[in-house]
Amino acid sequence: MIPSVLTIAGSDSGGGAGIQADLKTFAAHGVHGLSAIAALTAQNTQGVSAVHVPPIEFLRAQLDACFDDFDVRAVKIGMLANREVIDTVVDVLARRQDASRDLAIVLDPVMIATSGAKLLEDGAITALRTRLMPLATVVTPNVPEAEALGSGLIRSRDDLEPAASRLMASGAHAVFLKGGHVPGDPVRDLYLGPDGATSIEHARIDVEGHGTGCTLSSAIAANLALGLSPRAACLAASDYVHRALLAGSAPGFGELTVLGHWQARNA
């Protein structure tokens, strides 16, 4: 049976990030993609113009529909918008994790869109850190997100491992800290888990990628569903994002590059 992977995230009407990027990534990895839409955005390569959060009852119905009919091996969590949405996702996933100890959860703590639009209410950050992060198999923050979650300041590559250690001390089981905001070439990311730390480096690509964080976390979830360890899943996902970014294109009039998922799959 093909493993099923569920994304709980926001919909990007422009097709470059969010649920749309997640489903493309799942397909490229050969897993069956499921989705529960936690927010809808009016979005394109030039920015986010509107956000709508569906009723909580509808989100819960989507989650139950997916878990009741499919063998969900992994869950990727993206944009959740507010505290009520986070609490609902936590309640459902905690119950489902109790029923399936093998359920892997990857948390992408989305707070700000590439365009600068705010995607998470200020009051929800505490709930994200204290309620959701401890459930996650892997947490995948970029530098600003890590700092908001309590990692301390990250100004150089030397700060990556201490920052990831602080996040693990706060309850994260493993951390993939994305280092793209740290100056220098190559870009250095850091995986830290119970099995130790691993640095991953790729040449910096001079484009503004759209959906890179969504793609990374969904690729990790797909790899976990396929049986890889957290470390191996993160390393493979990082390579996939790099290939997809190299194969990216600019389908809109904005400056953002949308990732080339099909090309990355066949690389």
What does pTM read for this prediction? 0.95
Q: Which residue has the tokens 């989650």?
A: 63
Ranges of residues in the chain whose predicted pLDDT is under 50: none
Residue 166 neighbours by CB under 8 Å, 6+ apart: 150, 151, 152
Q: What is the pLDDT of residue 89?
A: 97
Q: Domain coordinates of the chain in residue numbers?
A: 4-140+208-265
How many residues would you count in the chain?
A: 267
Q: Which fold has domain 4-140+208-265?
A: UDP-N-acetylmuramoyl-L-alanine:D-glutamate ligase (3.40.1190)
- Tokens at 248, concatenated: 């990216």
Q: How many CB atoms lie within 10 A of CB 148?
A: 17
Q: What is the pLDDT of residue 113?
A: 65
Q: Which residue has the tokens 């390569």?
A: 45
What is the three-state SS of the chain? CCCEEEEEEEEECCCCCHHHHHHHHHHHCCCEEEEEEEEEEEEECCEEEEEECCCHHHHHHHHHHHHHHCCEEEEEECCCECHHHHHHHHHHHHHHHHHCCCCEEEECCCCECCCCCECECHHHHHHHHHHHHHHCCEECCCHHHHHHCCCCCCCCHHHHHHHHHHHHHCCCCCEEECCCCCCCCCEEEEEEECCEEEEEEECCCCCEEECHHHHHHHHHHHHHHCCCCHHHHHHHHHHHHHHHHHCCECCCCCCEEECCHHHHHCC
Q: What is the pLDDT of residue 115?
A: 58
One-letter identity of residue 6: L
Q: How many CB atoms lie within 10 A of CB 69?
A: 10
Instruction: Round to whole Å and give the CA distance between 224 and 130.
Output: 23
Q: What is the pLDDT of residue 117?
A: 62
User: Under a CB-based contact definition with an 8 Å cutoff, are residues 265 and 28 in contact?
Assistant: yes
One-letter identity of residue 103: L
